[in-house]
Amino acid sequence: MAVINQFLAVKSQFCAVMYQFLLAANYGENFGKWGLEQCFWVVLFLGLAAAGALIVKKNFVNAGVTVVVVAIVCFLLKNPTKVSALGTAIANILGL
Protein backbone atom coordinates (compact mmCIF):
# COMPACT_ATOMS: atom_id res chain seq x y z
CA MET A 1 0.00 0.00 0.00
CA ALA A 2 2.89 2.35 0.79
CA VAL A 3 4.34 1.78 -2.68
CA ILE A 4 1.06 2.77 -4.32
CA ASN A 5 0.81 5.91 -2.17
CA GLN A 6 4.40 6.85 -3.08
CA PHE A 7 3.68 6.30 -6.78
CA LEU A 8 0.56 8.45 -6.63
CA ALA A 9 2.43 11.21 -4.82
CA VAL A 10 5.18 11.28 -7.43
CA LYS A 11 2.63 11.12 -10.25
CA SER A 12 0.65 14.04 -8.86
CA GLN A 13 3.81 16.13 -8.45
CA PHE A 14 4.87 15.36 -12.03
CA CYS A 15 1.43 16.25 -13.36
CA ALA A 16 1.44 19.53 -11.41
CA VAL A 17 4.79 20.46 -12.95
CA MET A 18 3.61 19.55 -16.44
CA TYR A 19 0.40 21.55 -15.95
CA GLN A 20 2.42 24.70 -15.27
CA PHE A 21 4.02 24.39 -18.71
CA LEU A 22 0.59 24.29 -20.33
CA LEU A 23 -0.51 27.52 -18.67
CA ALA A 24 2.05 29.64 -20.50
CA ALA A 25 1.76 30.68 -24.13
CA ASN A 26 5.19 29.24 -24.92
CA TYR A 27 4.67 25.82 -23.36
CA GLY A 28 6.76 24.08 -26.03
CA GLU A 29 9.80 26.20 -25.23
CA ASN A 30 9.27 25.72 -21.50
CA PHE A 31 8.99 21.96 -21.92
CA GLY A 32 12.18 21.92 -23.99
CA LYS A 33 14.07 23.82 -21.30
CA TRP A 34 12.69 21.50 -18.64
CA GLY A 35 13.76 18.46 -20.69
CA LEU A 36 17.29 19.80 -21.12
CA GLU A 37 17.50 20.49 -17.39
CA GLN A 38 16.45 16.91 -16.62
CA CYS A 39 18.97 15.52 -19.13
CA PHE A 40 21.68 17.62 -17.48
CA TRP A 41 21.02 16.09 -14.06
CA VAL A 42 20.78 12.54 -15.44
CA VAL A 43 24.09 12.89 -17.31
CA LEU A 44 25.76 14.47 -14.28
CA PHE A 45 24.54 11.79 -11.87
CA LEU A 46 25.35 8.82 -14.13
CA GLY A 47 28.70 10.27 -15.14
CA LEU A 48 29.80 10.88 -11.57
CA ALA A 49 28.56 7.43 -10.56
CA ALA A 50 30.59 5.87 -13.38
CA ALA A 51 33.66 7.91 -12.41
CA GLY A 52 33.20 6.86 -8.79
CA ALA A 53 33.06 3.21 -9.80
CA LEU A 54 36.24 3.65 -11.82
CA ILE A 55 38.00 5.31 -8.89
CA VAL A 56 37.03 2.40 -6.64
CA LYS A 57 38.61 0.06 -9.21
CA LYS A 58 41.74 2.32 -9.08
CA ASN A 59 41.38 3.17 -12.76
CA PHE A 60 42.18 6.86 -12.37
CA VAL A 61 42.93 7.70 -16.01
CA ASN A 62 39.56 6.45 -17.23
CA ALA A 63 37.85 8.19 -14.31
CA GLY A 64 39.51 11.46 -15.32
CA VAL A 65 38.48 11.02 -18.94
CA THR A 66 34.93 10.24 -17.82
CA VAL A 67 34.79 13.41 -15.70
CA VAL A 68 36.06 15.54 -18.60
CA VAL A 69 33.56 14.04 -21.06
CA VAL A 70 30.70 14.48 -18.58
CA ALA A 71 31.76 18.09 -17.99
CA ILE A 72 31.74 18.80 -21.74
CA VAL A 73 28.33 17.19 -22.23
CA CYS A 74 26.89 19.05 -19.22
CA PHE A 75 28.28 22.33 -20.56
CA LEU A 76 26.63 21.72 -23.92
CA LEU A 77 23.34 20.79 -22.24
CA LYS A 78 23.37 24.03 -20.25
CA ASN A 79 24.32 26.11 -23.33
CA PRO A 80 22.44 24.68 -26.34
CA THR A 81 23.29 27.74 -28.46
CA LYS A 82 26.94 26.69 -28.30
CA VAL A 83 26.00 23.43 -30.07
CA SER A 84 24.48 25.44 -32.91
CA ALA A 85 27.54 27.71 -33.11
CA LEU A 86 29.83 24.67 -33.08
CA GLY A 87 27.85 23.03 -35.88
CA THR A 88 28.00 26.22 -37.95
CA ALA A 89 31.76 26.49 -37.42
CA ILE A 90 32.32 22.86 -38.48
CA ALA A 91 30.11 23.35 -41.55
CA ASN A 92 32.13 26.42 -42.52
CA ILE A 93 35.40 24.52 -42.12
CA LEU A 94 34.12 21.66 -44.26
CA GLY A 95 32.70 24.08 -46.82
CA LEU A 96 29.11 22.90 -46.49
| SS3 track for the chain | CHHHHHHHHHHHHHHHHHHHHHHCCCHHHHHHHHHHHHHHHHHHHHHHHHHHHHHHCCCHHHHHHHHHHHHHHHHHHHCHHHHHHHHHHHHHHHCC
Q: Are 54 and 66 in contact (CB under 8 A)?
A: yes
Q: What average pLDDT does this structure show over 17-36?
A: 72
State if pTM tops 0.85: no
Domain residue extents for the chain: 26-94
CA atoms of 30 and 18, how far apart (whole Å): 10
pLDDT of residue 14: 60
CA atoms of 6 and 12, how far apart (whole Å): 10
Split at pLDDT 50, 70, 90, the class of 96 is confident
